[in-house]
Structure 1
């Protein structure tokens, strides 16, 4: 189906020529994060804050109550989150990692363990910064990009979770971080059945269930589309049921709230809420704004409601499927099944002549830009970082390039261009060279690291 919206305002796009693109990537140290936005044609770096807001959201900006405390927009956001998510307390933050910081700081003790269905970069950073060890408890199929037969590759392997409990003791596990969907697995969903089973095992052992709710609407769509018994259930009701089995969540409003900035932390526990409000005052702002303007909270409240519309989320997921199917027709290797927010190219299969220590995903993302002006990002050994104890590179089984589709921004014609140029590049893939470090930051190195060709 075509886009379920009309275009009211446009932003002009310009494609730099080949020489300009080559110069730009060299000046950026072969790191697509360091490219200038004006040098990018179709920008698929991320779907975080790159959304197109609706007319209703823009209208909402005009009723922003910029009071320092007790803004009416906070109460609108609070009411909306309680209705759609069901959690008792909400604390706004400037974006999702602000919520991750608060949760990790308040719940983790040195030497604790935090299990999760695959790591996410900033989430694991905050957990480890506060003294925790991360343990991946996702199902094995999530690490195999070719496995198409597993529909819910984001599911937690309950045996892995139980083994960790037996190994370290439940008192050493403050919470399990349950991502819905799982970004680095390829945007893979978690089934409602698995959510229930994780909740039962965690709560039986006194362990909290804290969601990474960033793409919860996408997860709800997959449950409706794929899981028995949910075909006739609304997205809103599926989201509400998902969260009914947990104790809170971190949320980046820059994704499934369809805004350009913002996030929040939700909790049910009264004591944890009070401690969180004390911390948010130190690092974010008042508990009723958390580093956000009133107008941004209003846009987020409206965006939550719009995201639950089936036509909206169906179009979003089907844009990803469209791009995936077009690339697949050209023989391009990808993570399958296709996820909810991005296509993940399999860089190991795309560039089999490069060793993982030659950073194939980073090299491929750079080559895609030079070929087409399309900005993508690495999700592999660079994003995985180094072991905090040994200093050795983490070597994830998935070495991918993420083509992330912003919400309500690009048309199918843009996706045709992306697919056609990547297919062209795939046919001359042997020409792509590996990379080596020029500058490596001490943490979250994928954001600001710099490279050169070998």
Structure 2
């Protein structure tokens, strides 16, 4: 079929706000030019993240009514446990309220001061949780164009042979910081082999495991015709366990998990979970959340749904490219990434082109996107010197699951075209207030030009 369409019908809607340009510019000023700080009722199309922003299915809403809110041993947990174990093969299943809780608990059991966590790329909260322990997060992204999420095996071998105190290796599937690109089965097996040789445990950050599995089916001839669920099981079987935000491929609004083979490690994780998250069979979640997550994990590996995700991202990337934005290719499933530095060559990386572009796009059309450039991934000089810029200055257009139609995204592309047409006039940004960690969430900025970004 030449035209793809959503493999679902829409049964519930909510209105979206349309502000005037003057109102949007005032929102930018009031928020300190940080789109995280703008209230949702002042956003027209919200592509900030695909985390917790998806639309649940009729079956998931139905599952909410079956939620068992018993404090311990609820049947909702037992259903969630069965679904996760069937999918992953891991017998030790620990629910948590979201992915960063899973990271904090798991890393605190694996790492200590001066230890090293290695990843294809640690995302923002993953890195923060490693560094909060006093450990060091080392990113070793690969170079494969088809599997741009891979980890650099040669670099990992060198690091291990040099005697680095590596406490764990984490493969993020898909690799969010590298354009949402997948990790290949071959790369995961090569990393596993090195980990076994040096006695290092291997874990998956499995937030987007189903999308990674689908992209393997698309791009690896050896897996053509294999179901995404079977590919996902093969990926999980390579690792010792996983942590995951289930606000992505759980297609729910809250929730996460740790799933493991090792009973002793699982016991340590449960001890830490009880201190801050709740009892080990609810982990900070309501029973109804666990039921919705269990249903979402069954639905997310549906081939038609995943094909729709991938085709939507490709089509939207084409529309943004037609609008004049330099789009990263190939696209993944959960987002389209734009190279803000290429679009705004008049700005230095220290002038935060991704943030500048995000603010201009919001001023133009009320569209909220996410800066994955130097504001997010740059390294702050503790001596007060200039920031070390991020490897790439990306702006992410995340695609919430089952939320926006083609018309919504065409509106975004039209706003992007208007911004691209005046790209050379967009001013850079400077930070006027920032926290010590995860500064992109709460920092305040201002334009380097008194004219602002409008």
Instruction: Pick from 145, 155, 159 the counterpart of residue 160 of structure 1.
Output: 155
- Identify the residue that residue 127 of structure 1 maps to in structure 2: 130
Q: How does 1:202-217 map to 2 (within 5 A)?
A: 202-217=195-210
Q: Distance in 1 between matches of 2:304 and 2:14?
A: 24
Q: In structure 2, how many angstroms separate the alpha carbons of the residues matched to 1:417 and 1:2?
A: 18
* Matching residue of 2:108: 105
What's the CA shift for 1:431? 1.5
Does residue 427 of the first structure (1) align with residue 424 of the second (2)?
A: no
The corresponding residue for 2:377 is 384
Of 267, 286, 291, the residue aligned with 1:274 is: 267
Q: Which whole-Å deviations, capped at 9, do the CAs of 1:182-222 have from their partners, x for residues lacking one?
A: 00101011111111111111112111111100001110010
SS at match of 1:152: coil
Contact 1:385 1:444 (C-alpha < 8 Å) held by counterparts = no
Give 1:387 deviation, angstroms: 5.0
1:447 is aligned to 2:450? no
> Aligned-pair distance for 1:13?
1.3
Number of residues of Structure 1 aligned to a counterpart in Structure 2: 444
How many Å separate the matches in 2 of 1:24 and 1:331? Answer: 26
* Counterpart-to-counterpart distance in 2, 1:451 and 1:390: 20
Aligned counterpart in structure 2 of residue 244 of structure 1, from 230, 237, 255: 237
**Structure 1 equivalent of residue 452 of structure 2:** none
Cα displacement (A) at 1:389: 6.3
Matched, 1:406 2:400: yes
What CA distance in whole angstroms lies between the structure 2 residues aligned with 1:389 and 1:419? 39
Q: Distance in 2 between matches of 1:386 and 1:421?
A: 31
Q: d(CA) in 2 for partners of 1:48 and 1:67? A: 27
Q: How does 1:76-115 map to 2 (within 5 A)?
A: 76-115=79-118
Counterpart in 2 of 1:60?
63
Paired position in structure 1 for 2:336? 343
> 2: CA distance between counterparts of 1:167 and 1:176?
16
1:146 corresponds to which residue? none
Q: Distance in 2 between the 1:184 and 1:293 partners? A: 31
1:41 — aligned with what? Answer: 44
Q: Secondary structure at the match of 1:265?
A: strand
1:198 counterpart SS class: helix
Task: String of CA shifts for 1:25-55, please: whole Å, max 9, x gaps.
Answer: 1111100000110100010000000000000
> Residues 55 and 403 of structure 2 are in contact (CA less than 8 Å); yes or no, is this contact kept in structure 1?
yes
1:135 CA displacement:
1.3
Cα distance, 1:221–1:128 mapped onto 2, change above 3 Å: same
Report the Cα distance in structure 2 between the residues aligned to 1:223 and 1:13, rounded to whole angstroms.
36
Whether the 8 Å CA contact 2:346–2:424 is kept in 1: the answer is yes
Once residues 381 and 199 of structure 2 are traced to their aligned partners in structure 1, the CA distance between those partners, rounded to angstroms, is: 28
Rounded Cα–Cα distance in structure 1 between residues aligned with 2:328 and 2:202: 28
1:314 is aligned to: 307
Using the TM superposition, give the Cα deviation of residue 331 of structure 1 relative to its aligned residue in structure 2, in angstroms. 3.0
Gapped runs of 5+ residues in structure 2?
A: 449-454
The normalised TM-score by structure 1 is 0.96
1:300 to 284, 293, 297: 293
Counterpart contact for 1:259–1:300, Cα < 8 Å: yes
Distance 2:16 2:35 in 1: 18
Spell out the pairing of 1:167-178 with structure 2 (5 A cutoff). 167-169=162-164, 172-178=165-171
Within 2, Cα distance between the matches of 1:429 and 1:133? 38
Alpha-carbon distance between aligned partners in 2 of 1:205 and 1:183, rounded to the nearest angstrom: 27
Matched, 1:265 2:250: no
| Cα distance in 1 between the residues matched to 2:440 and 2:382 | 20
> Is 2:192 the partner of 1:199?
yes
Q: CA RMSD in A?
A: 1.2
Residue from 338, 361, 367 that aligns with 1:374: 367
8 Å CA contact 2:143, 2:150 repeated in 1:
no
Distance 1:177 1:317, change over 3 A: same
Contact kept? 1:382, 1:445, Cα under 8 Å: yes
Match of 1:25 in 2: 28
> What CA distance in whole angstroms lies between the structure 2 residues aligned with 1:366 and 1:387?
22
Identify unmatched segments of 5+ residues in structure 1. 142-149
CA contact (8 A) 2:112 2:134 kept: yes
State the alpha-carbon separation in 1 of the partners of residues 12 and 373 from structure 2.
36
Following superposition, the deviation at residue 383 of structure 1 comes to: 0.6
Greater alpha carbon shift after TM alignment, 287-296 vs 377-386: 377-386
TM-score in terms of structure 2 length: 0.96
